[in-house]
Amino acid sequence: MPRDLFVAGLDTTSATIEWVMAELLCNPEKLTKAKKELQQVLDKEREPKDSDISKLAYLNAVVKETLRLHPTAPILIHKSVTEVDIGGFRIPKDAQVLVNVWSMGRDPNIWNNPNSFVPERFLENEKDFRGDDFGFIPFGSGRRMCPGIPLANRIVHTMLATLLFHFDWNLVNGGKSKDMDMTEKFGITLHKVKPLMAIPIKE
């Protein structure tokens, strides 16, 4: 069981980091803002640590916004244990219930400008990863919520902080942000169709 969790976490964590970096490279003003926050919070001579995560409000917002647009698991699969009526729909016992997390994250009834990358929206509300708000459940909700949230949260934020704090980033071959292919490849985990190719530049 622990091994399965780590193996599953590798794929989802790497996919999330790739999507975050892709969105930041597509939105250089957001990248600059995230780097500026890191420079204000961290000492120049040390590595980002777990204890820094809570101080990085904008980086946290960037991760949440990325998971809203590109949820690691775009479809959540559940099974009804008993017959139930939800909003006038009868769900029979043992029915497979698919929750479209991807669609919920882009629902204009829930989000303003749902297809735009706007991390600032998460600085203005209390939505988090715990599934308390049904409009934002990238890791599921309730008893069936992903058990790896604490680990994934630490790894993703610490790795991103390290990548952004120590390096500037450019697309390969002088690529332009506006030309980046952001097409999604749907599956159990949501990946980019064309992997991100970026060059780190030591500051």
**pLDDT tens-digit profile, the chain (203 residues):** 454 544 555 678 899 999 999 999 999 999 999 999 999 998 776 788 888 888 999 999 999 999 999 998 888 888 888 999 988 989 999 999 888 889 999 999 999 999 999 999 999 877 766 666 677 877 766 666 665 666 777 889 999 999 999 999 999 888 788 888 999 998 888 999 999 999 999 86
- Please give the DSSP secondary-structure letter assigned to residue 107: -
- The three-point CA angle 196-102-182 to 5° equals 25
SS3 content of the chain, % helix, strand, coil (to 5): 45, 15, 40
**What number of other Cβ atoms are within 10 A of residue 129's Cβ?**
20
pTM equals: 0.87
Q: What are the domain boundaries of the chain? A: 2-72+102-202
Binding-site residues sit at 146
Tell me how far apart the alpha carbons of residues 59 and 177 are, in angstroms, rounded to a whole number. Answer: 20
What was the pLDDT predicted at 147?
Answer: 58
2-72+102-202 carries CATH number 1.10.630.10 = yes
Residue 9 confidence (pLDDT): 56
Identify the bridge partners of residue 100 per DSSP, sorted by sequence position: 75
Annotated binding site for heme: 146
Beta-carbon neighbour count of residue 82 at 10 Å?
8
